Amino acid sequence: MSTKSFRAVYETEGVYDQLLLRHYYGGTEDIDLVADWLTEHHHAPTASLEVVEFGCGTGRITETIAPYARNLVLADYSETMVNAVAQKFPEARTICADTSDAVTVLLRQGRSSSFDLVTAFWSLSYPIGEFFEELSPSGVRPRQDQARAQARAREFVLDLVRLVAPGGHLLAMLFDAESPEQQLVTRGWEVVAPFPDGGRAYTRNVLVDALREAEGRGDGTLTHTRLGGVAWAPSRDAAREWFFGVHFKHHPLLLDDPQLAETVEEFLDRYEIAGGGVALPSGVHLIDFHAAAHPYASLPIGLSS
């Protein structure tokens, strides 16, 4: 498969690592946000946790969580990604499947309430989105029954929660659909098809709504933080490829759209920085569901016993 073919970013070896930009939030890289979260919740790594990561990619963030894992399960729909992590983390169990299928497999294998840490970084929007629409080189086809899609997507999120052990966490990072960068991405994809609910925030809304529902039932507490920052491209070419290769996945309809190409160039003009490079405004949603039963989890120590 060529490095410019549709979805090459996830399906051709080396392309993801080559195109990926570094993301900084308040001067901290996204990987370090996870490292800081781990230090806050688990102190020094002791290889004591049952950990699963969905949409693990090439294992960029896995490097940070692996030292905490007694057992590590790594899942991704792409064979290329799974091969990469299998080499980097030979002790881990790998699953090559769509995240919703991987979750079903784990639940069937008796893994409910067994993971101290269920994680997905920059990857949960895909399986959630796939309940609503099907993406192919010829375009985007909305699923016929959108109410059913909504119900299945909600059930998928609740299934993710079912994997979490008592006291454990579901930790996810999601892109911020409202950032200027992602609004441009949305405008691009709308060349192909409109999004359900009028925008690309719908996948995050599905996730947050289902987690609030779980919190309302007393299954845990949801902490949701939005951080503003930048994706830093060392050159204009890197920034352009970030849009066309990563965000637009080399989709033929988007690669051939002169209007979109012009809009991207204008955007890059706006965010090019003196001395070279482009600092694209970006945002990340850090979503942490702590599976601790109400009401005790939220009381100060002493009051909860």
Q: Give contact residues for ligand SAM (rule: CB under 6 A).
A: 10, 55-57, 60-61, 76-78, 81, 98-99, 121-123, 126-127, 130
Chain residue whose CB lies nearest ligand SAM = 57
CB nearer ligand SAM, residue 131 or residue 289: 131
Which residues on neighbouring strands pair with residue 278, listed in sequence order? Answer: 233, 272
Q: Nearest approach, Cβ of 84 to ligand SAM (angstroms)? A: 9
What gap in Å lies between CA 32 and CA 34, rounded to an integer? 5
Find all residues with CB under 8 Å of 200, minimum gap 6, and list them.
Answer: 125, 177, 182, 185, 186, 189
Find all residues with CB under 8 Å of 274, minimum gap 6, and list them.
Answer: none
Residues 120 and 99 sit within 8 Å (Cβ to Cβ): yes
Q: The sheet that has 28-29: what strands, in order across it?
A: 28-29, 22-25, 221-233, 278-290, 164-175, 115-121, 49-54, 69-76, 93-96
CB nearer ligand SAM, residue 99 or residue 179: 99
What gap in Å lies between CA 50 and CA 74, rounded to an integer? 12
Q: Nearest approach, Cβ of 140 to ligand SAM (angstroms)? A: 14
CB nearer ligand SAM, residue 131 or residue 219: 131
Residues 30 and 23 sit within 8 Å (Cβ to Cβ): yes
CB nearer ligand SAM, residue 65 or residue 292: 65
CB nearer ligand SAM, residue 128 or residue 292: 128
CB nearer ligand SAM, residue 99 or residue 203: 99
Q: Nearest approach, Cβ of 269 to ligand SAM (angstroms)? A: 26
CB nearer ligand SAM, residue 77 or residue 195: 77
Q: Nearest approach, Cβ of 38 to ligand SAM (angstroms)? A: 15
Q: Nearest approach, Cβ of 56 to ligand SAM (angstroms)? A: 6
304, HSE (Cβ side, Cα atoms, 13 Å): 10
Q: Nearest approach, Cβ of 236 to ligand SAM (angstroms)? A: 22
Which residues on neighbouring strands pair with residue 74, listed in sequence order? Answer: 53, 94
* Structure tokens belonging to residue 151: 């119900």
Q: Nearest approach, Cβ of 20 to ligand SAM (angstroms)? A: 7
**In this structure, how many other beta carbons lie within 10 angstroms of the beta carbon of residue 86?**
15
